[in-house]
Amino acid sequence: MLDKLNEIKKAALESLSFINDQAALEVWRVANVGRSSPLMQVFAEFGKLSKEQRPVIGAAANRVKVALESALEVKAQAVKNAALAKSLEEEKLDVTLPGRIVNIGRLHPSTQQLRHVLFILAEMGFQVYTSREVETDEYNFQLLNFPPHHPARDMQDSFYIEADPSTGSGRSEDNSILMRTHTSPGQIHAMREASATNPQNPPPIRIALPGMCFRYEQITARSEIQFNQVEGLAVGEGITFADLKGTLTDFVRRMFGAGARLRFRASYFPFTEPSAEVDVECFVCGGVGCQVCKNSGWLEILGCGMVHPTVLQNGGYDPRRYTGFAFGMGPERQLMLKNKINDIRYFWGNDVRFLEQF
Ligand code: PHE
């Protein structure tokens, strides 16, 4: 019996020495220390042994069992280590490889400038009001006091959309639909919305209207078919031209620096009376005269004026009681002046070499 146990141990350890993976190790475990292994068979046959033999064989069998089990444990650890070493070898990372460069996106320069303008206006108490890009002739022109034959209403200057489904095609005189040519129609939308809440006592308004405008232009270095505008509108009781001048002077200083000089020049818009344009002293030459300011020393940056009584009326505000001012400016134009960009086509040309500079 002792010989048999020695045989079992020898054979088991020998076969264990050839094993080098987890699956084979499990097979070995079942075959050599499992319930129906030869070793366990020895324990099962204990009953057949004589009283004297039992403790001797028992002790020997136990020693074999302990020896096999600890050999199994050692082997299991070795198999595990080998597997780890193998996977580390196979999945080797070269931490010295340079990483791939991730291109970080950014806002379009027009959007950046637009937001800059809105940020300043917000600090001054103007709330953003977004209005539609597709407008009716009525809102874009008629309600803003454009005379019926104003050149801006011509097919050559505005993008008309096939307007009236009921008439089939083309534009009918009063009902046509077009891409807004300026942000000013938003004035009417905002005033009507506000005055509808309380027609007897419409609330005061102080808003900024940002967004894309469209004109049917030949695309050249100086003109594009689309551009952004930011419009400002203030309506209330007792608002005067002095408020307009103060507001825009403050705006220009926040935008172009505390020392920026500006001037108001009389102008004309159908929807403001009186109207003006604002120039800032040329920040390229300091007012001496250069190519950018065409030797005038001044750069025109916005149009403005007191809201025309007819426009107030059209918005639901009684012009005998209410007054207001409005102004409109172009973020792209500001960027062009600020950065001496001499071709407006860069803005929608999508050339990253241009866009990446902002
Ligand atoms: N809408 C005018 C334009 O597009 C700008 C403007 C806005 C002028 C508000 C006066 C008041 O040129």
Q: What is the pLDDT of residues 304-331, one digit of tens each?
A: 999 999 999 999 999 999 999 999 999 9
Q: What is the pLDDT of residue 163?
A: 55
> 146 C-alpha vs ligand 1 centroid, how far in Å?
12
Per-residue pLDDT, averaged over 277-290, amounts to 91
Position 286 pLDDT exceeds 70: yes
* Of 219, 208, 227, 218, the residue nearest 336 (C-alpha): 227
CA of 184 to the centre of ligand 1 (A): 6
Percent of the chain with pLDDT over 90: 66
Beta bridge partners of 135: 178
pLDDT top residue among 266 and 172: 266
Asked whether residue 170 carries a pLDDT value surpassing 50, the answer given is no
User: What 3-state DSSP class applies to 168?
Assistant: coil
pLDDT band at residue 169 using 50, 70 and 90 as cut-offs: very low
Ligand 1: residue of 140, 158, 182, 245 to mutate (most ligand atoms within 8 A of CB) is 182
Q: What is the predicted pLDDT for the residue at 172?
A: 47
Closest protein CA for atom 3 of ligand 1: 182
Asked whether the beta carbons of 306 and 241 are under 8 A apart, the reply is yes
Please report the pLDDT score of residue 56 as a whole number: 87
Among 135, 226, 231, say which to mutate for ligand 1: greatest number of ligand atoms within 8 Å of CB.
Answer: 231
Residue 173 is predicted with a pLDDT of 57
Q: Which atom of ligand 1 is nearest to the CA of 304?
A: 10
Per DSSP, what are the bridge partners of residue 177?
Answer: 136, 161
What are the two backbone dihedrals, phi and then psi, of residue 62, each rounded to the nearest 5 degrees? -60, -40
User: In the chain, pLDDT over 70 holds for what percent of residues?
Assistant: 95
Which of 269, 278, 329 for mutating ligand 1's site (highest number of atoms within 8 Å of CB)? 269
DSSP string covering 255-311: HH-TT--EEEEEEEETTEEEEEEEEEE-TTTTTS--TTTTTSSEEEEEEEEEEPHHH
Residues touching ligand 1 (Cβ under 6 Å) are: 182, 184, 231, 269, 272, 303-305, 326-328
Region 131-150 average pLDDT: 90
Q: pTM (2 decimals)?
A: 0.72
Mean pLDDT across the stretch 133-161? 85
pLDDT band at residue 174, thresholds of 50, 70 and 90?
A: low
For the ranges 77-81, 90-94, 128-132, 307-311, which has the lowest average pLDDT? 90-94
Atom of ligand 1 nearest to the CA of 184: 1
pLDDT tens per residue, range 206-231: 999 999 999 998 999 888 999 999 99
- Per-residue pLDDT at 17 exceeds 50: yes
From the CA of 321, how far away is ligand 1's center (Å)?
A: 23
Query: Best of 131, 181, 229 to mutate for ligand 1, by most ligand atoms within 8 A of CB?
Result: 229
Distance CA 267, CA 280 (A): 16
Topology annotation, domain 109-131+183-211+225-355? BirA Bifunctional Protein; domain 2 (3.30.930)
> Quick one: pLDDT band at residue 168, thresholds 50, 70, 90?
very low
